[in-house]
Structure 1
Amino acid sequence: MSASSAPITFSHGPTWRNRVALAPLTNLQSGSDGVLSDDEHTWLTRRAEGGFGLVMTCAAFVSSAGHSFPGQLGVSDDTHLAGLTRLADGLRAAGSVSSLQLQHGGRRGDRALSDDLVAPWDDAKYGATALTTEGVEQMVDDFATAARRAEQAGFDGVEIHGAHGYLIAQFLDGRSNTRTDRYGGSADNRFRVVHETVAAIRAATGPDFQLGLRLSPERYGIVLDEARELAAQVMADGAIDYLDMSMWDAFKMPHGEEPGDRPLLDLFTELPRGDVRLGVAGKILTAAQVRECLERGVDFVLAGTAGILHHDFPRRVVGDPDFAATHPQPASHFVAESVGPLFLDYLSTNWDDFVTADGVR
């Protein structure tokens, strides 16, 4: 048995059949109201059929104020429940563990979709208003309510999106979060919203519900030393089942560091993690790279680009130690991989050197 094909267990929830998870990927395929579309259902269930141990949805907004882009999946209202139930059932039938990623855009929300953008501070550039202390408490409750709704729909778990400059990550920004209440200023205060959201979801869901957390290790106003400290805290606390470090490039050196320093990945694998599993995402495209990540101490990998290119990426990795997902690929390749027209247009427009016209390389 290869390392990538070994099952992985958690403190809560089901065992994953292998150590390759589908990363959460913006795909713009659901309705303007956040209701699941047939295309998004097909895109995700096809990945479950392809052998991913965990299939995670795109970022799903937990409140209307956090709606961040057109075609985004929603989990903010009971009108989303029927579609989410259908998706959870489909993923389970295909043999994958399921996770719904919970997100609030904060100042990065879409004003065309939300009249009231909020942030940890007043932000004139984005037209966002600072949350009151009570507003932060309501946001935490919104995440917990969304997690409870995901559990009701039949998902095996959720992941808190605390990365990429969205609302929870905005609280971690030491440059700008100078709030004077318990959610700003010191690192401990800025970390508080993460700990409270984790605790609220644990209290709102059952003992077999799986909980993950996604963090960025740097940038977005996040200092590497603080990111390591927060990662150490949440792993020591043990309330989450896994920590998903989104590095953009799992093999990069820390931003701004001198050449020769240790890779960013090593600065997180060395942290004590107790029973919490550690995953990493970022440009993992080959069987060799999956092996390297696992050999260097992560418990699982999250494949994004590779999962778009190949619905059965985990099976290809296990079956061929030299397998590599490559791009660009013609549009017909993506259609055959159950990438719907809206998602394909997004990839063609926003991802350089990814989609070519058929017959053009």
Structure 2
Amino acid sequence: MTDLGSPLTFPHGPSWPNRLALAPLTNMQSNDDGTLHDDEYDWLVRRAQGEFGLVMTCAAHVSRAGQAFRGQLGVSDDTHLRGLWRLADGIRDAGAVSSVQLQHGGRRSDTQLSGLPVVAPWDDVDKGATALSTEGVEEAVQDFIDSAIRAETAGFDGVEVHGAHGYLIGQFLDARRNDRTDRYGGSASNRFRIVHEVVAGIRQATSPDFQLGLRLSPERYGVALDEARALAREVLASGDLDYLDMSMWDVFKQPHEERHHGRLIDYFTDLPRGRTRLGVAGKILDGAGARQCLDRGADFVLIGTAAILHHDFARQVIADPDYRSLKQPVPAAHLTNEAVGPRFLDYLATNWDDFVS
């Protein structure tokens, strides 16, 4: 049985002091131009102080045109570097490994924030999005690579590519809608191409000590489970990744597609992975649930809700196997004491029925 408190090593970059990572969480606490705000700094550094092995930022936009929400941290321009340096230093000084999650909103971007047209893999009248040209896709790939270089320049230990939840990279994976006729659409191998190009490009452009992860959705968003499994198999075998992060919403759920049975997590823990590590995320709220994920074959777990409720959830579950996060909803004062800033608190209260009492 693997202990949650045992260190985790990777092909590149530093080892993590334990098997608990802070999930990349939308919190809307930075400035609208993508520069770091004190509230976002405090939120993340407090989780490092709470002994999460890896502390990852929210989805940070790699292109101004890809900005998806207000208060989103940016890594798309050198004007963001000052705050990124500060954040990387703060997380490191608190004892955690640091990572920036790289994201482009695609058809979910907000033109009112960016002042730029919305782009996507296909024309989308409902979203006001225009299909990227082949050259435009190549530029988007380069934006991810350039942003990874910028994160390394700022002192972060690594980055995670956001290929999940229906943002730009995940949109290319959508078998229902991505009917492009160039090399980025149609067949599964073409739809997977952008993932491989971004991952390989970052690995080639950054140092051997830079850590690289990828987040994927195992189902929905136009992604069939069989295809998600096939793509996971490919990226695990590539040797470019240090870890694959599967965002399952609920690690204990059954697959959405009725023809598949068992637990969703088991469709990925059985894949050959070599030295690449596998993490899972979704409704892990106590020590027992986290240990169960490791027992089923995951190398680490990513914590979202429980990390909002408790900055020191990692420390608590390592010290006490029976530790469980508070039941929701919780008073606003509790969240404020856990370094949840006013804008993050408003987001939780407005968008989640059961978070703030």
Measured against the shorter chain, the TM-score band is: over 0.9
Superposed counterparts of 1:260-339, under 5 Å: 261-326=261-326, 327-339=328-340
Q: Which residue of 1 aligns with 2:343?
A: 342
Measure the CA separation in 1 of the matches of 2:24 and 2:196. 22
Distance 1:204 1:355, change over 3 A: same
Measure the CA separation in 1 of the matches of 2:182 and 2:355. 45
Superposed counterparts of 1:173-184, under 5 Å: 173-184=174-185
- 1:158 maps to 2:141: no
Q: Which amino acid aligns with 2:190?
A: N
Deviations 1:126-163 (A, max 9, x none): 00000000000000000000000000000000000000
Superposed counterparts of 1:77-96, under 5 Å: 77-96=77-96
Measure the CA separation in 2 of the matches of 1:341 and 1:253. 36
Deviations 1:258-278 (A, max 9, x none): 69x210000100100111000
Name the SS for the 2:113 alignment partner. Answer: coil
Deviations 1:297-333 (A, max 9, x none): 0000000001000000011101111111122111110
Measure the CA separation in 2 of the matches of 1:182 and 1:233. 18
For the 8 Å contact 2:34–2:71, the answer to whether it is kept is: yes
Aligned length: 355
Q: Which residue of 1 aligns with 2:71?
A: 71
Q: Which residue of 1 aligns with 2:4?
A: 4
For the 8 Å contact 1:75–1:146, the answer to whether it is kept is: yes
Measure the CA separation in 1 of the matches of 2:318 and 2:153. 34
Q: Which amino acid aligns with 1:290?
A: A
For structure 1, list consecutive stretches of 5 or more residues without a partner in the other structure.
357-361
Superposed counterparts of 1:212-251, under 5 Å: 212-251=213-252
- 1:352 maps to 2:353: yes
Q: Determine what percentage of the aligned residue pairs are the same residue.
A: 69
For the 8 Å contact 2:250–2:283, the answer to whether it is kept is: yes
When normalised by structure 2's length, the TM-score is 0.98
Q: Which amino acid aligns with 1:63?
A: S
Q: Which amino acid aligns with 1:212?
A: G
Moved over 3 A (4+): none
Measure the CA separation in 1 of the matches of 2:204 and 2:137. 18
Q: Which amino acid aligns with 2:141?
A: V
Measure the CA separation in 1 of the matches of 2:172 and 2:99. 24
Distance 1:318 1:2, change over 3 A: farther
For the 8 Å contact 2:251–2:281, the answer to whether it is kept is: yes
RMSD of aligned residue pairs (Cα, Å): 1.0
Deviations 1:19-39 (A, max 9, x none): 000000000000010000000
For structure 2, list consecutive stretches of 5 or more residues without a partner in the other structure.
none
Q: Which residue of 2 aligns with 1:209?
A: 210
Measure the CA separation in 2 of the matches of 1:256 and 1:295. 25
1:2 CA drift (Å): 6.6
Measure the CA separation in 2 of the matches of 1:287 and 1:176. 40
Measure the CA separation in 2 of the matches of 1:77 and 1:183. 26
For the 8 Å contact 1:2–1:318, the answer to whether it is kept is: no
1:51 CA drift (Å): 0.3
Measure the CA separation in 1 of the matches of 2:90 and 2:258. 45
Name the SS for the 1:7 alignment partner. Answer: coil
Name the SS for the 2:215 alignment partner. Answer: strand
Name the SS for the 1:302 alignment partner. Answer: strand
Q: Which amino acid aligns with 2:34?
A: G
Measure the CA separation in 2 of the matches of 1:227 and 1:219. 10
Q: Which amino acid aligns with 2:234?
A: Q
Measure the CA separation in 2 of the matches of 1:118 and 1:216. 21
For the 8 Å contact 1:58–1:101, the answer to whether it is kept is: yes
Q: Which amino acid aligns with 1:109?
A: S
Superposed counterparts of 1:49-198, under 5 Å: 49-114=49-114, 115-198=116-199
Q: Which amino acid aligns with 1:129?
A: T
For the 8 Å contact 1:236–1:273, the answer to whether it is kept is: yes
Deviations 1:80-99 (A, max 9, x none): 00000000000000000000
- 1:23 maps to 2:23: yes
Deviations 1:206-256 (A, max 9, x none): 110000000000000001100000000000011010000000001100003
Name the SS for the 2:110 alignment partner. Answer: coil
